[in-house]
Structure 1
Amino acid sequence: MNRIGQRQLSDVVERMVPPGLHFYYPDGDGPAFWQRVRESKAYAADVAEIKAEGKRLLGQAVPELTYALFSLYAKQGSRLEYERVYFERRRRLNTFALLGLLEPEREDYVEELLNAVWAICSELTWCLPAHVGERRPVADTIDLFSAETGFTLAELTLLLGDRLPKMLKAHILELVHRRLLLPFLEKGPYEWEEAEHNWAAVCAGSIGAASLLLLQEEREQDLLVRILEKTERSMACYLKGFGEDGGCLEGLGYWNYGFGYFVYYADLLFKRTQGELDWFSLEKVEAIAGFQQKCFLGGNAVVNFSDSFPHEQVQLGLSRYLAGRYDSVQSPPSALRADYRKDHCSRWATALRNLLWREQASNVPDWPPGDYMLEDAGWLISRTVSSAGIFGFAAKGGHNDEPHNHLDLGQFMLAGDGEFYLSDLGCGEYTKDYFGAGRYLYDCNGAQGHSVPIVNGCLQAAGRQRKASVVEQAISGQEARLTIELAAAYECPSLQSLRRTWRWHKHELPCLELKDVFVLTDRPDALLERFVTLIRPEQAEDDEGQLLLDRGTLALKLAYDRELLRLEVTERIWRNHDGEDEVWYTLDFHVLRPERHVELDFIFQFVRR
């Protein structure tokens, strides 16, 4: 959608229809919808999960957000202590709001809901400590979660109607104005307003959505115009972060997050303007909508470059909404539905729409096979289906200044039967240093934690100029092939060229050939090939020159030349996003006789045990 001027936007706002329950329910009939949810087998698992949470939370005191918890981030850089309590409060709000809609006769649910609303309205700030700084007063700060909270409360005032006391409604309206709408207009600009990643979509989208729900009087039209004008600019900035291929460099989790909030806002905007303002008509938006179906490598294993998780479920509401919008978007397998309790951030907008938007049926057992070259992102993804199972391969180029950047040019992964054999560690525990000067000392972020070469002791460096160039790409029914030039990724003056070629053979049991060609001006002291896995490797019984990564019925056999390479296996520990320690292994192949020109070949063959 092209930007429109303030005068044109003012005309559109004048013609807007007021928000109502018809934005959410067929014929605006909320009770009928929730009765169908209670009685339908299609929703049985969702309802059981929500009720289980209600049983767990019922009668518990609302956990306190103390100053001691808030101050931990400033004192020691840790986030999890405060955030666990913060998100538990949102879980209470979501759970009792949904239970109150499902079973309106339960007075205990209503009481718990009102207490949850009151508690959140009483918070000093809706921001997380990690997003509050000295540059801006706390009262003027807007982050992802403050914006989400305002959107949530605005939506609840509409959906709950008269069941929410007038005093609480008025208080919510006052808080949303004071904490979001007015600072957005008067205390900015905020850094995220022109961000080309999820912050623009979530912050601006939530504020825009809240304004569409709360501002409906004629006297509020000017305020709504001003908010939407800024929101529309931020949404355009968000879309600039994508290439025409629709690839999300932040990974599938952030696609669900950022693009999800883009869609939630765009849907409300479309409905209030009766289709006059339609982000969904853009070809790029359709391309982005198709990103999810390309990411799955079998089962719930997904391409997890950047700060992403290796296993994901789908948000059925968002997924089926997009499938209903676009013929090119596939409806996901129902088996991949995300459990209500899975979202550790407890996002109301997502949880609600997983119920509202999932009417379209889907009986497919898994995603179909597919090969995708995301040319702007520099990713090759192949999902191969045979009588032996589902197998996945993904490799990346790109550059080393991407959102949630890792030093990972040339990184690749292999999956079979929904499990990884060569892995990307993905997303570590978020701390102050994780997004600070020490970012690349974390193994999950630095080159040392990826399946990429180490050249004469040099790891990859950060920066937009540290990039990979695609030399060749080809996809056929039998093979997917990609060659990239990696020399620019390294601060190694003697490195003239480093070409990495993957050939993915789509046999019944697939095979990956990897070839690296090093060209240097001087003889290096050391050349090292590193591969990353979560599986303890073992020697293949049938060949001393082969390594086995075994998960039971399926294994990956790694063949290499023992005359050229010496293998070193190291068990290591990293801390995952939940703050838990996990074991991983580096398979380091040392070149025995480093020369100015070296060619190395590896074969990764899936085998049944």
Structure 2
Amino acid sequence: MKRNVIFTGRGMLLCCLLGWIVLSTSAQEKRDLLTNEIKQFPNTSYLDSNPLSVFPDRGTVHQSLSQLPEEIQDRLVEEGDEAIEYEWPAIPVSAYLDFVRNGNRTRMQSYQNQRTKALKSLVLAEMLVQDGTYLDAIMDGVWAMCEQSTWVLSAHLSAQKDKSGMPDVEEPVIDLGAGEVANLLSWIHFYFRSDFETVSPLLARRIELELEERIIAPYLARDDFWWMGFDASFVNNWNPWCNYNVLMTAALVERDQEKLRQVVEKSAHSVDQFINYYKADGACEEGPAYWDHAAGKMLEYLELLKHLSNGKVDVGSQSVIQNMGNYIRKVHIEDDYYVNFADASARLKAHPGIIFRYGQYISDERLKGFAADVAQKEDLDQWLLKGSLDRTIHNLMEYRTLETQKAYQEKTPYFWYPETEVAGGRGDDGLFFAAKGGHNNESHNHNDVGTFVLYYQGNPVFIDVGVETYSAKTFSKDRYDIWTMQSDFHNLPQINGVSQQQGNDFKASSVDFSEGKRFIRFGVEIRHAYGESAASEFWNRSYELDRKKGAFTIADQFSLDKRVAASEVHFMSLYPPVKKENGSLSISLPNGQDVIMHYPSDKLSLAIEEWPVEDPRLLKVWEQQVVYRLVFEQVGEQVKDKWEFEVTTP
């Protein structure tokens, strides 16, 4: 990527999703909460004798749809009418092969997304009007999905033995894509089976056959899908996501009570691995953008299991489950900004329906109130109908209760996740910071040990750029060639010309956090993240937020074994920094206020670089075509020193 230098001082100055390429060492704690709950009951005594009774029937969904505002009902009919015209094109095999040929996963996924979107639109429209208008189109869509060679996404076909990129119909595997399609078809089977059978029994039987062969049978037969977590090496959002879809499929379609029991108990054992892997503090290692499909999908699984067991299997009172739920509330900054380390994006349209259901599950009024606050700031149709058919059905059952929930708007004054090593806090005048320790082998990892973000009155000052659109390179050996993954493009030093490296051994140490009436402090030793080539005896990075003064201080105190090259400190800014006199610079924010940074100009020279933002995902987050890197380069050849940067507000 080409950079444009617009100011030069003295001198000039890379989940859920694909977690198997980043392996951690072991589970955090062998809790086995679900398995231990189930062990209390003999055989299937904990399961409802009629599993289908726990789901809202078609009449209930129709009633809820018919009570929606007229403009939303009109939109559902309009989208259903559009979907009737959809012609269900086959997915070309070349669309699958794109991924191995050039890393493109989008073309194949767009075909599958169009299919599932059309089916969802048809189903909602028919359940609203109830006159058969959309039934033939629904049958066409279901048949097309059953005829599709695989529901597995092209990026995930490497789970099959054949590595050509072409689907192997003789080896069914379960991924996020297959699970989502299975979930959709299961709901359609539940609501429209009798309609299908008035035409012919063959379509309902075909759905059952495909779900058995593609989902239930391989799930029960195999223990080696990496996301199951049975090898205890690594678990991420795939685990609850896939397990939820499998359990929902079995609950809606499987008539054999013994087979359903097997799915329940195996899935509980698997989701236990996800809960075991989570640190007790409940922080989402993958960041807030993944919370919805990590802790959020776990919530959906736990909620379903609770319903299927008539409330007998319920772990909502466990502290780790409560901590996991409240993470999303605590790391909320302002508006749609959330703390975004790793592959998480800084801006997030949080799903109030899932947050509310989580609050219900753990009986937490603050979390339910936070969901209500999120919902009130977004138009009903923007979240009620968002996501899968499964999500929409649940939203329809809960939205009126959510609308009556009192909003909780109080911001968390500080948070500290001691095991995940993530902290943050707020000042009285609107300054907010978050910082992290950790290691460089976390899920969706960036080389970012010791980095931070800083906001003022909801506006980004120093940012974590985030991640570009996923491609094959994102989850390959070349991951850290991507600029947004590299420590040089985080708010971190470059030590003796050396950047951070990836792996478990490149980690933080001596992490410390303290909070008082006036100050919030976070300190971390980061030299181990750079390796021996940095020749560093120690490099202590510390942050201090003065709540009363409206000031934030970043300090680097270090000692090098020898000087190899000039060390640097980098900061990433969304808005253009302007160099002032006497070692200061200003950053003008959209609210018209300037944030000032003071730096030791006798020790460091400053270069300000423009870095173009060309990726669609990053453009959507930051809404501008450039970000700025501040490069402070060491003046002189000191091997011991302390550099302080103070950010002050108006």
TM-score normalized by the length of structure 2: 0.84
Equivalent runs, 1:299-318 vs 2, <5 Å: 299-318=335-354
- Aligned-partner residue type, residue 39 of structure 1: Q
Q: 1:599 maps to which residue? A: 642
Q: Please state if 1:228 is matched with 2:264.
A: yes
How many Å apart are 1:363 and its aligned residue? 4.9
Q: Please state if 1:351 is matched with 2:383.
A: no
Compared CA separation, residues 45 and 182, structure 1 to 2 (3 A): same
Q: 1:191 maps to which residue? A: 226
- Is this contact kept in 2: 1:440–1:446, CA < 8 A? yes
User: What's the CA shift string for 1:158-185, capped at 9, x where partnerless?
Assistant: 2445344443322111111100111112
- Is this contact kept in 1: 2:44–2:261, CA < 8 A? no
Q: 1:379 maps to which residue? A: 422
- Is this contact kept in 2: 1:565–1:589, CA < 8 A? yes
Q: Please state if 1:141 is matched with 2:210.
A: no
User: What's the CA shift string for 1:277-331, capped at 9, x where partnerless?
Assistant: 2233432111111111012101110011111111112212211112223344422
Equivalent runs, 1:210-359 vs 2, <5 Å: 210-216=249-255, 220-328=256-364, 329-331=366-368, 332=370, 333=373, 334-337=375-378, 346-358=387-399, 359=401
- Aligned-partner residue type, residue 23 of structure 1: V
| Structure 2: stretches of 5+ with no match in the other structure | 1-32, 163-167
**Larger deviation: 286-295 or 390-399?**
390-399
- Is this contact kept in 1: 2:384–2:395, CA < 8 A? no
Compared CA separation, residues 314 and 187, structure 1 to 2 (3 A): same
What is the alpha-carbon distance in structure 1 between the residues aligned to residue 49 and residue 358 of structure 2?
Answer: 24
Q: Please state if 1:81 is matched with 2:81.
A: no
Q: Please state if 1:411 is matched with 2:448.
A: no
How many Å apart are 1:113 and its aligned residue? 3.0
Equivalent residue in structure 1 for 2:600, among 539, 561, 577: 561
Q: 1:62 maps to which residue? A: 88
**Larger deviation: 30-39 or 457-466?**
30-39
Compared CA separation, residues 382 and 345, structure 1 to 2 (3 A): same
- Is this contact kept in 1: 2:435–2:452, CA < 8 A? yes
Q: 2:141 maps to which residue? A: 116
- Is this contact kept in 1: 2:512–2:523, CA < 8 A? yes
What is the alpha-carbon distance in structure 2 between the residues aligned to residue 6 and residue 304 of structure 1?
Answer: 36
Q: 1:502 maps to which residue? A: 543
User: What's the CA shift string for 1:321-368, capped at 9, x where partnerless?
Assistant: 122233444222124558867899943333332332332334538453
Equivalent runs, 1:166-181 vs 2, <5 Å: 166-181=201-216
What is the alpha-carbon distance in structure 2 between the residues aligned to residue 282 and residue 441 of structure 1?
Answer: 41
User: What's the CA shift string for 1:106-156, capped at 9, x where partnerless?
Assistant: x44434433332222221100011111252645322111111221222123
- Aligned-partner residue type, residue 555 of structure 2: K
Equivalent residue in structure 1 for 2:189, among 140, 154, 157: 157
What is the alpha-carbon distance in structure 2 between the residues aligned to residue 443 and residue 342 of structure 1?
Answer: 33
How many Å apart are 1:5 and its aligned residue? 10
How many Å apart are 1:482 and its aligned residue? 0.6
How many Å apart are 1:492 and its aligned residue? 3.5
Is the partner of 1:12 in helix, strand or coil?
coil
- Is this contact kept in 2: 1:497–1:519, CA < 8 A? yes
Q: Please state if 1:31 is matched with 2:62.
A: no
**Larger deviation: 544-553 or 391-400?**
544-553
Q: Please state if 1:125 is matched with 2:156.
A: no
How many Å apart are 1:546 and its aligned residue? 2.0
How many Å apart are 1:446 and its aligned residue? 1.8
Is the partner of 1:330 in helix, strand or coil?
helix
Is the partner of 1:11 in helix, strand or coil?
coil
Aligned-CA RMSD value: 2.9
- Aligned-partner residue type, residue 35 of structure 1: Q
How many Å apart are 1:7 and its aligned residue? 8.2
What is the alpha-carbon distance in structure 2 between the residues aligned to residue 566 and residue 258 of structure 1?
Answer: 43
| Structure 1: stretches of 5+ with no match in the other structure | none
- Is this contact kept in 1: 2:317–2:362, CA < 8 A? no
Q: Please state if 1:547 is matched with 2:586.
A: yes
Is the partner of 1:17 in helix, strand or coil?
coil
TM-score normalized by the length of structure 1: 0.89
Report runs of 4+ in structure 1 exceeding 6 Å deviation. Answer: 5-10, 338-345
Compared CA separation, residues 436 and 559, structure 1 to 2 (3 A): same
Query: What is the aligned length?
Result: 592
What is the alpha-carbon distance in structure 2 between the residues aligned to residue 381 and residue 18 of structure 1?
Answer: 47
- Aligned-partner residue type, residue 505 of structure 1: D
